[in-house]
Chains A and B, each alone.
Chain A
Amino acid sequence: MKTDIILCGVGGQGILSIATIIGEAAMKENLYIKQAEVHGMSQRGGDVQSNLRLSSEPIHSDLIPLGGADVIISMEPMEALRYLPFLKKDGWIITSSTPFINIPNYPDVEVIKSDLQKIGNVILLDIEQQAKDAGVPRSANVILLGAAQKALGIEYEKLEDAIRRVFGRKGDAVVDANIKALSIGKAAQK
C-alpha cells in the first residue's frame, strides 16, 4: 500500500487537522508515514500545503515528486490547482468549491471551476454550506476527508475510529459531529 496526498488551502483553514486524522488511522495500521508541513511566515493568510505520504514500505523523501500524488485534498478551489503538476494522471482532486478571496487579483471563479472540471477525477463540494445545513458547521474539513476516503485507500470504519481517538478528549458531541461530517463526505463520493 502506498498513498501520496497533498493537503492544501490558505493559512488558517485548518488543513492539518485533516492530516492528523489520516495520520492517526495510518499509525493504527502500522503504516510508515511522512508528513511535511509549512510553519512560519506563510501561515499568515498565504498558500499552505502539506505533503502526506503513507506506505507499507519505508518512505524516503518527505516531499512528493512531480506526478506522484494520488490525491489532492484542498480547502480552496484555486489552491487545489496550484499543485496540479504533482498529481498523477489518474489522481483525484477533492476540493471545497468556496473560494477564499484575500488577494486583489483572484481569478474568475468560473474559470477556476472549469479548470478543475478538465481533470477527470474531481469532487467539488460546497462543504461550508453542507456542514451548516447538517448542523455541524465546524466540521466542514471532515466532509472533504469523507469524500476522499476511497482515493486515500483507507477503510471508512478506520477513519471513523481515528476520529474517535483524535476528538475523544473533546467529548461525544464533537466526535458525533465529525462522524456525521465524514458520512456526508462519503455519500458525495463518485
Chain B
Amino acid sequence: MKRLLLGDQAIAQGAIDAGLSGVYAYPGTPSTEITEYIQDSPQARERGIHSRWSANEKTAMEAALGMSFMGKRALVCMKHVGLNVCADPFVNSGMTGTNGGLVVLVADDPSMHSSQDEQDSRFYGKFAMVPTFEPSNQQEAYDMMSVAFDFSEKMGLPVLMRVTTRMAHSRAVVEIADTPKDQNALNYNAKASNWVLLPAFARKRNEIVTAQQPILEQIAVESPYNKYVDASNHQLGIIASGIAYNYLMECYPNGDCPYPVLKISQYPIPKKLIRRMTDDCETVLIAEEGQPFIEDQVRGVMPGNAVIKGRLTGELPRTGELNPDLLKAALGLPTDEAYKTCEDVAPRPPALCQGCGHRDVYTALNQVLLDYPNARVFGDIGCYTLGFLPPYKAIHSCVDMGASITMAKGASDAGQWPAIAMIGDSTFTHSGMTGLLDAANENANIVVIISDNLTTAMTGGQDSAGTNKFEAICRALGVSDEHLHVVNPIPKNMPEITAILKQEIEYEGLSVIIPRRECMQTLQRHLKQKKAK
C-alpha cells in the first residue's frame, strides 16, 4: 500500500515491517520523528515494540545492544552529535558484533539547521569498521531498513544508517508492506568470548572484524545500492552519494545525464567501481552531502589518471548542505534564477515563545547580574540557548549537552565568580547529573539553574526523563537542602526569584535553583486535548 511519509517515518515503518522489537532514542532534530512514529503506531503497540525515550544516546545505544545480544532486532536513533555521546558503546559494538539485527540510525544536519556542528557520521562508520548505508530517498530508506537488519544478522555486525536533514524531514509517497515480518524469538547464541572485551579476547575480535572489511567492500561493489550507469561522454564522470544523487539528477530532468554516474549508498566505498570511473573518465566530480568523506578516500587511494573535483577543490562548497543549484554550478549549467534577492527582507531569527518560563528566568537573572558585571553564565542545549539573542543576551557559552554545569565548575576552579550554569530539565538528566556530582563533591562555588518546563521542548515536547524527580536527584547527588530552591517563574514572583538568586550567588558553595513551569507549547496541547475530551 502507498503512504505519504516523512523520511523519518519511512525509516520507522521500515523498521516495524522488518520485525523490530525495540527502538531506543533520545530526541534530537532531525531524528526525533522516527521514534515518535513508532510510539504512535497502533501496529507497534499491538506487537509490543519498545519505544519509550531513553535518558540519553548512550543509554539508548547500550539498551539496543542488550536487545541485540538476546537475538532480537533493535533500532537506535539519534542526531549526529548524539553519536558522540554514545561513541563508546557504538565503536565497541563494532568489536562485539551483534546477535539480533542492530541498526544505528544517525540523522546528520549539514548547514546546522538545528545543531552546533555539521559532523559527518560516515567517518564514525569507517573508523568503527561498521558497514554504513546512506539512502537517497524515502522509498530507499524504507526498503533499506529490512536489508540493513538482514545484513546485520548475516554479517554479525551493527549497521550504521546515515541520513541527512532533507531526507529525514521531507515527505514522499512510499510503497510499504501489507504486514510486518515476525519478530525474532529470544535466543542465547551470543558468545561470551565475543562480548567480553577483555584485551586477550578483544584482540581476537579485532582480527576477525578487520578480516571482514574486504568482504564488506566486495559486497558494496556488488550492492544494488551502488550503481554505475555508463554514458557516452567520458570527459567527466560523477560520483554522487545519498541525497546528492537527487540534486544531480535534478539537473538532468529527462534523466539524460551525458556522463557516467556512480551512485553510492553503501559503504565501505566500492573501490573497484571508483577505479573504473577514474580509469575511464578524464575528470571526476564528487558530490556528497556533508564532509568530503568519499573525496578524501578517492584522492588517497586512487592515484588514477583522472582529475578529481569536489568540495576540496571548490567546485562544490567546502561546508554546508548541497542543493540542485550548487550541482548546476559545478556542472557548468546555467541557473534559472529570474528574480534577485529582495533587499527589503529582514532576517527573522527564532525566539522564545511568548509566555515561556525561560523568559522569566532570564529576566530575573539579568536583573540580578546588573550588580555583578563580571558574572559568566554557561548555557546549554535547548530552547533556552535562544537566551543568547536579544533582548536577553544572557549566556556566554553553549557547547554540548550538560556542559553548562561542568564548564561553570571549571571556570570557578579557575577563580571566576559568579559562575552560573543554565540548563534545562531534559538536558540535565541527559548529561548534567554527573557534572553536578563533581560539583557537589567539591562544593564548587557555582549556581546551577535547572529551568524545568516538564518536557523536552525544543524537539517538540517529548517526555523528560526526570520529571518529578529533580529535587530528589539533586539531594542524592549531595546538594544541601538549604541551597536547593524551587520557584515558579512568573512575573509576579520576580522579587522572590531575584532575592534567591542574589542570596545563592553570595553563598560560597554549590546551589541549585529549579524554576518550574510547564512549556507553553505542551500546555496549549494539553488544554486542547482536555477540551476535546
Is B383 positioned at the interface, with any CB of A under 8 Å from its CB?
A: yes
Contact of B323 among A11, A65, A119 (CB under 8 A): A65
Residues of B with C-beta under 8 A to A45: 348, 350-351, 353
| Complex-state Cα separation, A73 to B390, whole angstroms | 30
Residues of B with C-beta under 8 A to A102: 348, 351
**B33 (CB) vs chain A CBs: closest residue:** A39
Q: Interface stretch among A76-84, A132-140, A176-184?
A: A76-84
What is the minimal beta-carbon distance from A76 to any residue of chain B, in angstroms? 9
| Complex-state Cα separation, A146 to B166, whole angstroms | 28
CB–CB A61/B250 < 8 A: yes
Residues in B204-247 with C-beta less than 8 Å from chain A: 243, 245-247
Contact of A63 among B171, B323, B340, B344 (CB under 8 A): B323
What is the minimal beta-carbon distance from B165 to any residue of chain A, in angstroms? 9
- Classify chain B's interface size: 35 or more
Query: Do A107 and B344 form a contact, CB below 8 Å, given A44-B350, A61-B247?
Result: yes
CB–CB A41/B350 < 8 A: yes
The 8 residue pairs across chains A and B that have the minimum distance between CB atoms = A67-B336, A40-B114, A40-B29, A46-B350, A61-B250, A89-B338, A35-B171, A62-B170
Is A43 positioned at the interface, with any CB of B under 8 Å from its CB?
A: yes
What is the minimal beta-carbon distance from B120 to any residue of chain A, in angstroms? 19
| Complex-state Cα separation, A85 to B340, whole angstroms | 5
CB–CB A44/B351 < 8 A: yes
Residues of A with C-beta under 8 A to B338: 67, 87-89, 91
CB–CB B344/A81 < 8 A: yes
Residues of B with C-beta under 8 A to A51: 170
| Complex-state Cα separation, A10 to B352, whole angstroms | 13
**B346 (CB) vs chain A CBs: closest residue:** A105
Query: Do A35 and B170 form a contact, CB below 8 Å, given A43-B350, A65-B336, A84-B339?
Result: yes
| Complex-state Cα separation, A96 to B344, whole angstroms | 17
What is the minimal beta-carbon distance from B33 to any residue of chain A, in angstroms? 7
CB–CB B342/A65 < 8 A: no
Query: Do A85 and B339 form a contact, CB below 8 Å, given A10-B348, A60-B250, A63-B323?
Result: yes
Residues of A with C-beta under 8 A to B399: none
Contact of B173 among A32, A37, A41 (CB under 8 A): A32
Is B4 positioned at the interface, with any CB of A under 8 Å from its CB?
A: yes
Is A173 positioned at the interface, with any CB of B under 8 Å from its CB?
A: no
Contact of A40 among B173, B248, B328, B458 (CB under 8 A): B458
CB–CB B166/A103 < 8 A: no
Residues of A with C-beta under 8 A to B328: 65
Is B480 positioned at the interface, with any CB of A under 8 Å from its CB?
A: no
| Complex-state Cα separation, A154 to B113, whole angstroms | 32
Contact of A39 among B173, B250, B383, B460 (CB under 8 A): B460
Residues of A with C-beta under 8 A to B173: 27, 32-33
Residues in A43-80 with C-beta less than 8 Å from chain B: 43-47, 51, 59-68, 78-79
Is A112 positioned at the interface, with any CB of B under 8 Å from its CB?
A: yes
CB–CB A112/B344 < 8 A: yes
Interface residues of B (CB under 8 A from A): 2, 4, 6, 29-30, 32-33, 113-114, 166-167, 169-173, 243, 245-250, 323-325, 328, 335-342, 344-353, 383, 386, 390, 458-460
Q: What are 17 A-B pairs with beta-carbon distances under 8 A?
A: A35-B170, A39-B33, A39-B114, A39-B169, A40-B29, A41-B458, A44-B351, A51-B170, A61-B246, A61-B249, A61-B323, A62-B166, A65-B336, A67-B337, A78-B348, A82-B345, A107-B344
| Complex-state Cα separation, A149 to B291, whole angstroms | 41
| Complex-state Cα separation, A42 to B460, whole angstroms | 12
CB–CB B346/A44 < 8 A: no
Is A38 positioned at the interface, with any CB of B under 8 Å from its CB?
A: yes
CB–CB A42/B350 < 8 A: yes
CB–CB B325/A40 < 8 A: no
CB–CB A60/B4 < 8 A: no
CB–CB B459/A36 < 8 A: no
CB–CB B342/A115 < 8 A: yes
What is the minimal beta-carbon distance from A16 to any residue of chain B, in angstroms? 10
Is A34 positioned at the interface, with any CB of B under 8 Å from its CB?
A: yes
CB–CB B340/A37 < 8 A: no
Residues of B with C-beta under 8 A to A23: 4, 171
Apart from A41-B383, A44-B383, A51-B170: 13 A-B pairs, beta carbons within 8 A: A27-B2, A32-B173, A33-B171, A37-B171, A39-B29, A46-B348, A46-B349, A63-B166, A67-B337, A78-B346, A79-B348, A84-B342, A89-B339
